[in-house]
Amino acid sequence: MKVLLLGANGQLGQALKAEAAGFPALALISTGRSEVDICDTASIRQAITRYQPQVIINCAAYTAVDKAEAEPAQAYRINCDGVANLAAQAALYNIVLLHISTDYVFSGEQAHPYTEQDSPAPKSVYGASKLAGEQALLQSGCKGAIIRTSWLYSEFGSNFVKTMLRLGQCRKPLKVVADQYGSPTYASDLAAALLQMAAAAKQPLFNPPQLWHYANNGITSWYDFACAIFHDAGLECQVEPIQTSAYPTAASRPAFSALASGKIQQHFNTPVPSWRDSLKPALTRLQSPASHKVTD
């Protein structure tokens, strides 16, 4: 089965390429924005004609959360209009589209993990643009799935874990927000789940498309996550918990955005490790002598 990966140079895209060897029944075709621009219908059609995929995994997105507040048109162009273009072509060519979304579609005002049935209410331009993309896909008539995830990290790209490792090596005291709660998710775990879904693309679960959540089990704060990183990495670093109000950002973050992954686990028998268990192999890979990905 041919699987066309869009946004292959991002954090999740690189994790998918790394995990693909474990799925020999899939032929993963990786493309970056220079080859396939989801905002350009002709570009999408050319890729479909060239590669003839049965499945498309879309990791292409506008992800600059704070910058989106100043350039909403660009965020919507990619996260909504681009997804609408892609979904329309997937419907036209009968391709299953797996699209990645975010916990930022929620307000963060409830105190228990969000399920697929909970009503979204984004508090930022980024979250609103991603929700608009979800709605465009659901209304397109294509086969597929929307997979929301949260607090993604890995040995690839820029992310919280790599930033903490870099700052921790400086041995300077750090201040980390302690009143935002979520589910840190190792990109390799999510990548394996996505490839498992791609392998099952002929199942009726994709027609019509549904919402799915995938985040590592467990809930923590950014502060406690940082402390766990330093503990498991063997780094001594003083960390001070602070309130969100002491660290203002352009975009508002949900105070609680943990996701419940029971649905995907039940229907696809997908492993969903705890965030604490997945952090250990991630740090092992990041700290191995062969790894040169520690710096952002």
Give the integer Cα–Cα distance in Å for 24 and 30: 15
The conformational region for residue 18 under phi > 0 = left, psi -120 to 50 = alpha, else beta, is: alpha
Catalytic residue among 104, 114, 126, 186: 126
Contact 105, 148 (CB under 8 A): yes
Strands (E), the chain: 2-6, 27-31, 55-58, 96-102, 143-149, 152-153, 174-177, 181-182, 185-186, 210-213, 220-221, 239-242
Residue of 58, 45, 51 whose CA lies nearest to 96:
58
Using CA atoms, how far residue 295 sits from 97, 163, 207, in Å, is 33, 8, 42
Is 62 marked active-site?
A: no
Amino acid letter, 134? E
The rounded radius of gyration (Å) of the Cα atoms in the chain is 19
Residue 39: CB partners within 8 Å, gap ≥ 6? 77, 78, 81, 82, 85
Give the integer Cα–Cα distance in Å for 75 and 6: 17
By annotation, the residues acting in catalysis are 126
